[in-house]
A and B are shown apart, each in its own frame.
Chain A
């Protein structure tokens, strides 16, 4: 899924699109936990440009080592099992970027995020995108797109969902969707604040800002 070259640090325009959009939503000087922080690009950016107290959890030890080598506060851990230890309200924002679809219990992870943080920022690839729908309909096989780039037996994405699915889950759990947007990979044709149905068809990825209801 993430095949781009190593991002240049500290330069926002080289950041993955969803991370750039997430960074724009975060207020300066806040406490942020990034779950699945990867190489630490987002927390580095938040610290350097917004003075945030930004920390990370990452499951991949090589990424953790890389982050710590760069002086970033990242711990090896797992979204499914390592959120329960944090006290209530420890963060202003808890970020889960392109990881929701890969966790074992997404519902529980979201609940933990909104327990330990005031707001949750969640980005995920949209399985409702028209190309995904078309491929399944036309070929009868699991879709393979630039976003869903690995075969079904290789993918870590065990819980794909669509934008509409996510709205339904938020309603069921009583979460308030404060902001949401859907974009394609290059950030074009942002159908911001248009109908969810259209976004679900045209958006390759989605970003939600939630708070407890």
Chain B
């Protein structure tokens, strides 16, 4: 049986004055876990903040302490790579509400009061950004050279650019949107209901019974994983291929795609906390950048001097190109400096994590052009 993740000490900084959240509740204490790569220059002008996606974390470009696998963006962040750590100082934080060291449902509530669990307040993408900003301020960085992220990370990029335009020289929102669509909320809800329906969830206090809702969380991951791929990618990888036994039989693993999804589900539960999954999916559902500007997205970027590069992928149906185009058009409405490119790929939403040479060249080129405008050596 699966049990809780191992306890690991993550690099972190704790802010004893806590954080005020959008919901009106205040966290008495805020811990932000993070990793950095490369060196900050003397002027502190070469920092790039990477924002991770729903189930990502701060281990962008190094061996993951739980899974032992390589970093989730090993192809993008590193020496000589598009986000070049020989040139830039790269920072990535674990998001607020996460389970890799930042304050979240797995954190102690108050001294001696156990863990937060389902009592953890609802957080938003803006709260995540505000937590990151505390770290950036603490590091003494007045302006980030760039903020880069895909999917939910892209939402954080947009939120950064909207909330703190003077702190963001360049913004790269990848495979993302300015609001969560009804379809995306619907898929998230299936995942959450799956977790709730697992008896091991124990009303959200599973750790008290030394158990985790492994079945529910695995099914949530399986559903979500389908949305990260595309029909072409699934067909190319698996088609209708069967494993071993032939003929008509029960519900054991028959098709290769089934065993692939089961594997994805079972490995996920070893590294991710169910309450974190609930908290973070909810944060993405709440996201609607235009809402506080009366539904007018361009108002969110009024007067911005940030240079934007929007990147989408042709087979991404979770955050389709049309949603990136809407952001590009809103930025045009604010007379912002915008690059926008759709990368041809059959790999679906996951393409931003995979080997896509055109994507990597575009990202590298945009950052190099911005570095020239920023006067970086």
Listed in ascending order, the chain A residues whose CB lies under 8 Å from chain B are 53, 55, 61, 64-65, 67-77, 82, 85-87, 90
Contact = CB atoms under 8 A, between A and B. Distances in A.
B328 interface: yes
Q: Which 7 A-B pairs have the closest CB atoms?
A: A71-B369, A75-B340, A69-B365, A90-B335, A85-B332, A85-B329, A68-B362
B146 to A, nearest CB: 13
A71 B307 contact: no
Given A61-B342, A71-B372, A87 B335 contact: yes
Secondary structure at chain B's binding surface: helix, strand, loop or mixed? helix
A70 B364 CA distance: 9
B342 A69 contact: no
A202 to B, nearest CB: 39
A68 B341 contact: yes
Nearest to A70: B365
Given A70-B365, A85-B298, 9 more contacts: A55-B338, A64-B340, A65-B358, A68-B339, A68-B365, A69-B362, A72-B369, A74-B341, A85-B329
Contacts of B368: 71
A141 B191 CA distance: 64
A70 B339 CA distance: 11
Contact of A68 (B335, B344, B366): B366
Contacts of B372: 71
A61 B329 contact: no
Contacts of B332: 75, 82, 85-86
8 contacts: A55-B338, A61-B341, A68-B366, A69-B361, A70-B365, A72-B369, A73-B307, A86-B332
Contacts of A90: 335
Given A53-B337, A61-B342, A64-B341, A71 B370 contact: yes
Interface in B43-61: none
Contacts of B309: 68
Interface in B347-368: 358, 361-362, 364-366, 368
A69 B334 CA distance: 24
A34 to B, nearest CB: 13
B199 interface: no
Interface residues of B, number: 29
Contact of A75 (B339, B343, B344, B370): B339
B335 A86 contact: yes
B363 to A, nearest CB: 9
A73 B362 contact: no
B333 interface: yes
B77 to A, nearest CB: 18
A68 B343 CA distance: 12
Contact of B344 (A55, A61, A82): A61
A160 B365 CA distance: 36
Contacts of B361: 65, 69
Interface of B: 298, 307, 309-310, 328-330, 332-335, 337-344, 358, 361-362, 364-366, 368-370, 372
A26 B152 CA distance: 41
B341 A65 contact: yes
B223 to A, nearest CB: 31
Q: Considering residues A53, A65, A74, which has the most beta carbons from chain B within 10 angstroms of its beta carbon?
A: A65
Contacts of A55: 337-338
Contact of B341 (A71, A76, A85): A76
B266 to A, nearest CB: 38
Contacts of A68: 309, 339, 341, 362, 365-366
A65 B343 CA distance: 8
Contacts of A70: 365, 369
Nearest to B329: A85
Contact of B328 (A65, A67, A69, A77): A77
A82 B325 CA distance: 10
A154 B334 CA distance: 38
A187 B78 CA distance: 49
Contacts of B365: 68-71
Contacts of B338: 55, 73, 75
A85 B340 contact: no
Contact of A73 (B329, B337, B343, B364): B337
Contacts of B334: 87
Contact of A74 (B333, B339, B364): B339
Nearest to B328: A75
Contacts of A72: 339, 369
A71 B374 CA distance: 13
A68 B311 CA distance: 10
Given A74-B339, A75-B340, A65 B362 contact: yes
Contacts of A67: 339
Contacts of A85: 298, 329-330, 332-333
Q: Considering residues B310, B366, B368, which has the most beta carbons from chain A within 10 angstroms of its beta carbon?
A: B366
B352 to A, nearest CB: 15
A90 B336 CA distance: 10
B369 A77 contact: no
A85 B358 CA distance: 28
A76 B344 CA distance: 13
A87 B303 CA distance: 12
